[in-house]
């Protein structure tokens, strides 16, 4: 190979020496605590436009011996549909993002969710069957100018199981440039009455928009406590309001 015969080997030696001096660092991995419970963190949102949207993370964690737990059935069953993980992250954390269409109006059917099953976990996978509020008015209602606005809802078609530990609601009425907001904790009332003098000025087409947001949440940790699910559920109901003059 003539004059260049030693150059490739010199290059390999030089490159190797250079690489070994400044390439990678090696670290001890950071782990979750051995024996800590399986954790499912779930955010659900119910809207008329997009049905039930799910974002969830399952952390199987490590067993008492420090080994990664095996997920037996990795689907979340949401409203009867199987939702598989979008991806698996470090430490086997599974990430779920999906949405399921509603077969009926919001609140007619309960929002149901069953957690994935993890091997050698004694607690049953947490489940919910939560009834969210149902709008009893049509999507567009007419209100006489100067009258109170009354929004009618069915707070719960049946008892939610298990009962959410946290319930909050707020209603927001939006006009041309101002917004009126009211809310409370506890179950949403069947009739939300907003006095006329609190209603914002309607837009140029004499219209207002009201959005009721109901938040339900609960931490479930069935006995013996080796599986924990933190579930948050947001429901949004919308009214279009026409001011009659």
Partner 1 sequence: MPLHRCFATIATVSCFVLAVAVKPAAGQIPQLPDTIFYSAPQPSWTGHLTSLAANTFLGALTGGVVQELRGGSFKDGFTRGALGGAITYVGKRVASERFDGAGLLGRQVGAFGSGLVRNAADGVPSFDRFVVPLGPGRLYVERGGDRSFQFQPKLDLLATAWIVYGVVEPDLHFDAGSSLSAGAAIFRTRDKVMSHAEGDRRVGGFANAGVVFLSDVPAWGKPFLDGAFSHERVHIVQEDQIFLTLTDPIEDWVLHRVPGGRHIARWFDLNASTELFRLTGGLFSSVRERPWEMEASYLSR
In the complex, which residues of this chain contact partner 1 (CB under 8 A)?
1-5, 7-8, 11-12, 15-16, 19-20, 22-29, 31, 60, 62, 66-68, 70, 74-75, 82-92, 97-99
Give the residue with the Cβ less far from partner 1, 86 or 193: 86
Q: Which is nearer to partner 1, 76 or 216 (CB)?
A: 76
Q: How far is the CB of 90 from partner 1 (least distance, A)?
A: 6
Cα 158 to Cα 166, 186, 219, 220, 232, distances in angstroms: 17, 16, 21, 20, 19
If the CB atoms of residues 50 and 242 are measured against partner 1, the closer one turns out to be: 50
CA distance 153 to 228: 32
Residue 54 or 229 with smaller CB distance to partner 1? 54
To partner 1, the closest distance from the beta carbon of 43 in angstroms equals: 14
- The least CB distance from residue 83 to partner 1, in Å, is 7
> 30, 78, 46: which is closest to 235 by C-alpha?
46
Q: Are strands 227-244 and 140-144 parallel, antiparallel or unpaired?
A: parallel
In the bound complex, what is the minimum distance in angstroms from residue 226's beta carbon to partner 1?
Answer: 18
Question: Kind of pairing, strands 38-47 and 227-244?
Answer: parallel
Question: Residue 38 or residue 62: which is nearer to partner 1 going by CB?
Answer: 62
Least distance between partner 1 and beta carbon 37 (Å): 17
What is the C-alpha separation between 202 and 242, in angstroms, rounded? 9
Cβ at position 183, least distance to partner 1 in Å: 27
Closest CA to 126 of 116, 136, 141, 139: 116
Task: State whether residue 234 is helix, strand or coil.
Answer: strand
Exposure b/e, 185-197, CB count within 10 A at least 16 = b: eeebeeebebeee
Nearer to partner 1, 11 or 159 (CB): 11
């Amino acid at each position: 190979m003539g004059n260049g015969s030693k150059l490739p080997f010199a290059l390999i030696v030089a490159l190797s020496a250079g690489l070994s001096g400044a390439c990678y660092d090696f670290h001890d991995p950071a782990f979750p605590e051995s024996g800590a419970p399986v954790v499912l963190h779930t955010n659900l949102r119910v809207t008329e436009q997009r049905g039930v949207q799910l974002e969830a993370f399952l952390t199987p964690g490590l067993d008492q011996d420090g080994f990664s737990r095996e997920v037996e059935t990795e689907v979340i069953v949401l409203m009867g549909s199987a939702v598989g993980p979008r991806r698996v992250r470090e430490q086997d954390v599974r990430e779920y993002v999906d949405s399921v269409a509603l077969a009926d109006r919001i609140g007619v059917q309960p929002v149901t969710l069953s957690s994935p099953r993890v091997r050698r976990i004694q607690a049953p996978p947490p489940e919910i069957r939560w009834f969210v509020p149902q709008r009893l008015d049509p999507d567009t209602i007419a209100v006489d100018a100067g009258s109170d606005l009354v929004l009618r809802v069915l707070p719960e078609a049946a008892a939610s199981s298990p009962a959410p530990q946290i319930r909050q609601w707020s209603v927001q009425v939006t006009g041309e440039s101002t917004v009126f907001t009211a809310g409370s904790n506890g179950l949403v009332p069947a009739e939300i009455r907003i006095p006329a003098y609190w209603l914002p000025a309607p837009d140029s087409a004499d219209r207002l928009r009201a959005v009721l947001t109901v938040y339900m949440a609960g931490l479930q940790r069935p006995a013996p406590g080796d599986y924990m699910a933190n579930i948050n559920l947001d429901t949004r109901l919308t009214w279009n309001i026409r001011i009659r003059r």
